[in-house]
Structure 1
Amino acid sequence: MAVVFVLIALLVLAVLVTGNWYVWRRLFRDTTRGPGALRRAGAVVIVGGWALTIGALVAERAGAPFWLQQTLAWPGFLWLALALYLVLAVLAGELVRPVLRRVLERRARRTVPVREQAPTPIPAGTAPSPAAEAPDSSDGPDSPDAAESPGDPGAPNGLTDSAGPTDPSRRLFVSRVVGGAAAAAAVATVGYGTYGVLSGPKVKRVTVPLAKLPRAAHGYRIAVVSDIHLGPVLGRGFAQKVVDTINATQPDLIAVVGDLVDGSVKDLGPAAAPLAQLTARHGSFFVTGNHEYFSGAEQWVEEVRRLGLRPLENARTELPHFDLAGVNDLAGEDEGQGPDFARALGDRDRTRACVLLAHQPVQIHEAVDHGVDLQLSGHTHGGQLWPGNLVAASANPTLAGLDRYGDTQLYVSRGAGAWGPPTRVGAPSDITVIELASRQA
Structure 2
Amino acid sequence: MFENLNEKLERSFKMLKGQGRITEINIAETLKEVRRALLDADVNYKIAKTFTETVKEKALGQDVLSAVKPGEMMVKIVHDELAGLMGGKSVDINMQGNPTVILIAGLQGSGKTTFSGKLAKHLKTKKAKNPLLVAGDVYRPAAIDQLKVLGEQINVPVYTEEGSKEPVKIAKAAIKYAKEKGHNLVIVDTAGRLAIDEEMMNEIAAVKEAVSPHEILFVVDSMTGQDAVNTAKEFNDRLDFDGVVLTKLDGDTRGGAALSIRSVVNKPIKFVGTGEKLDALDVFYPERMADRILGMGDIVSLVERAQEQFDAEQARQLQKKLAKNQFSFNDFLSQIQQIKKMGNLKDLAGMIPGMGKALKDIDIDDDAFKHIEAIIHSMTPLEREDPAVLNGTRRKRIADGSGTNIQEVNRLIKQFDETRKMMRMVSQGKNMGRMMGNMRRR
Same fold per TM (> 0.5)? no
Larger radius of gyration: 1
Q: Decide which structure has greater helix share.
A: 2
- TM-score bucket of the superposed structures, by smaller chain: under 0.3
TM-score, normalisation: structure 2: 0.22
Q: Decide which structure has greater strand share.
A: 1
